[in-house]
Amino acid sequence: MVSEEQKPYHHGDLRQQLIDAAIALLQSEEVSQLSLRQVARQLGVSHNAPYRHFADKDALLAAVAEQGFQGLYEAMAAVTEVMPADPARQLQAIGMAYVEFALAHPAHYRLMFGAYRPTTCSPEAELLQAAGQAYGVLLNSVIQGQQAGVIRGDDPNQVALSAWSLVHGLAMLWMDGQLPMPGQSVTQIAECVTRFLLQGLLADQRTATSGGNR
Amino acid sequence: MVSEEQKPYHHGDLRQQLIDAAIALLQSEEVSQLSLRQVARQLGVSHNAPYRHFADKDALLAAVAEQGFQGLYEAMAAVTEVMPADPARQLQAIGMAYVEFALAHPAHYRLMFGAYRPTTCSPEAELLQAAGQAYGVLLNSVIQGQQAGVIRGDDPNQVALSAWSLVHGLAMLWMDGQLPMPGQSVTQIAECVTRFLLQGLLADQRTATSGGNR
DNA sequence: ACCTGAACACCGTTCAAGT
DNA sequence: ACCTGAACACCGTTCAAGT
């Protein structure tokens, strides 16, 4: 009886389209520039239509952030499938993938880490879960490294958090244009920086694992 | 002839008062909530008065950020005066002071690192200089550690940037409520995390310098 | 159920005007 | 020189109304 796909009025899935449009706008705009009315305009619906799908502007932003964490998770998880061999090398590769994701989607990445966060004091369970999933990749890699006797046997959360802080800080500093070394590419810097921390995380303290540190 | 202090109309120094009022508001509000009109209201001037002293809302925010970097510089520099003894220990102490500053003024700290940054594509020379001054404390400590043979002899900028990224990332993750370890205080975590990196930065790879790692 | 147009209080910014 | 009030275009959000 219903030959047409059951579309809610004008759009196939306005909720997802709103998220996608916001992400698209974040390719060329900062999160502070992003307005709800603008997203609606982009889709040709009234400035009021989003309220059918999101309680708030923040609710839309939270959904956008959640989708970002899913992308980050996939980028990190892909690394663990490609190179499961050397745990230390894998840990550094995850860090590199993390930084590359942030550099590829700066505004989206910034949104994920709460630069907005005005009314969003609510738990936002899905968002936290998506973030935890990405963090889990890092944590698993640390635990495997410990079981292999390569990574030092401290609390794996402390180790994983060190790595997360390092790459997060590096990505943010790059985005803010605060990196003091214009001569080198971010990738080079990231490799060097992650190598330093990795050296401190090894179980036996001999030589760093990767990269020809000339 | 002028017995009264030469005050420009209503206020002693409206420019500085605007900066101070904005900083005060950042104690209880997020940077995204801060409005120019609100700052003016706080001082009892018209919503238009700030434009006599700042070209823009961003210009005021840049001045607020600059003042923040001066405070950060002082907090870090104070450490180097108190404990000039062990270079490794000093480097970690600078990192701890850095994190503590960020935790004490989260909204102000977030503003310093460009979460706003919409029209502020202009160089903003004073801001960059103030940020560079704070970074210089870290860099100097690294260089001294290298000269003492305690810190590894790589490019000091790479070493300092590693440390900066680590504490910056940790502070930001804490502010965003993303730290996965509720049991421990941030200070404890910061000490542990900085110890890991420090271990990787040492010239001879023996034992970490500080903290009883039980 | 889903969307619209009008309305409200707020914002950053500009402009003509006041002392 | 420094400040004001009115005005403009925008915003997030709410509400009564349309299909």
Three-state SS string across chain A, please?
Answer: CCCCCCCCCCCCCHHHHHHHHHHHHCCCCCHHHCCHHHHHHHHCCCCCHHHHCCCCHHHHHHHHHHHHHHHHHHHHHHHHHHCCCCHHHHHHHHHHHHHHHHHHCHHHHHHHCCCCCCCCCCCCHHHHHHHHHHHHHHHHHHHHHHHCCCECCCCHHHHHHHHHHHHHHHHHHHHCCCCCCCCCCHHHHHHHHHHHHHHHHECCCCCCCCCCCC
What's residue B75's pLDDT? 97
What's residue A108's pLDDT? 95
- Unique residue bearing structure tokens 């307005």: A35
- Measured in angstroms, the CA of A112 and the nearest CA of chain B are apart by 10
Q: Cα(A204)–Cα(A151) distance, rounded to whole angstroms?
A: 8
| Position A32 confidence tier, pLDDT thresholds 50, 70, 90 | confident
By the 8 A CB rule, do B26 and B108 touch?
Answer: yes
B45 touches strand D (CB under 7 A): yes
Chain A partners within 8 Å of B190 (Cβ): none
Whole-prediction pTM value? 0.89
Average pLDDT, chain A: 86
Q: Which nucleotide is nearest to A58 (CA to C1')?
A: D12
What's residue B214's pLDDT? 35
- Unique residue bearing structure tokens 């802080």: A165
A48 touches strand D (CB under 7 A): yes
Instruction: Tell me if B116 and A173 make a contact (CB, 8 A cut-off).
Output: no
What's residue B164's pLDDT? 97
- Measured in angstroms, the CA of A45 and the nearest CA of chain B are apart by 27
Q: Which nucleotide is nearest to B46 (CA to C1')?
A: D4
Q: What does each C-alpha distance from B104 to B28, B65, B68, B115, B131 come to in angstroms?
A: 12, 15, 12, 18, 18
Instruction: Tell me if B158 and A189 make a contact (CB, 8 A cut-off).
Output: yes
Whether the predicted pLDDT of A180 surpasses 90: no
What's residue A1's pLDDT? 34
Whether the predicted pLDDT of A7 surpasses 60: no
The shortest CB-CB distance from A30 to any of B117, B161, B176 is to B117
Amino acid residing at B155: D
Q: Which of B142, B190, B143, B148 is nearest to B170 (CA)?
A: B190
- Unique residue bearing structure tokens 């839309």: A60
Closest residue (Cα, C1') to C11: B35
Q: What does each C-alpha distance from A97 to A84, A90, B33 come to in angstroms?
A: 15, 10, 33
- Measured in angstroms, the CA of A68 and the nearest CA of chain B are apart by 15
Instruction: Tell me if B157 and A117 make a contact (CB, 8 A cut-off).
Output: no
What's residue B122's pLDDT? 52
DSSP B6: -
A56 touches strand D (CB under 7 A): yes
In which region does residue B149 sit, left (phi positive, over 0), alpha (psi from -120 to 50) or beta (all else)? left
Q: What does each C-alpha distance from B56 to A35, A47, A209, B37, B109 come to in angstroms?
A: 20, 28, 50, 12, 20
Instruction: Tell me if B193 and A113 make a contact (CB, 8 A cut-off).
Output: no
What's residue B116's pLDDT? 57
| Position A51 confidence tier, pLDDT thresholds 50, 70, 90 | very high
Which of A28, A166, A202 best probes binding to B when mutated, by most B CB atoms within 10 angstroms?
A166
Pull the structure tokens for residue A2: 């219903």
Q: What does each C-alpha distance from B35 to A102, A211, B4, B44, B162 come to in angstroms?
A: 29, 48, 33, 15, 35
| 3-class state of residue B151 by DSSP | strand
- Measured in angstroms, the CA of B8 and the nearest CA of chain A are apart by 34
Pull the structure tokens for residue B135: 């970074």
Chain A partners within 8 Å of B164 (Cβ): 169, 173
Distance B45 CA to C6 C1' (A): 33
Radius of gyration of chain A from its Cα atoms, rounded to whole angstroms: 20
What's residue A3's pLDDT? 31
The shortest CB-CB distance from B180 to any of A113, A161, A198 is to A161
Q: Cα(A96)–Cα(A8) distance, rounded to whole angstroms?
A: 42
Successive 10-residue mean pLDDT values, chain B, 214 residues = 41 87 93 93 93 92 94 96 86 97 95 65 72 95 96 95 97 87 88 96 66 38
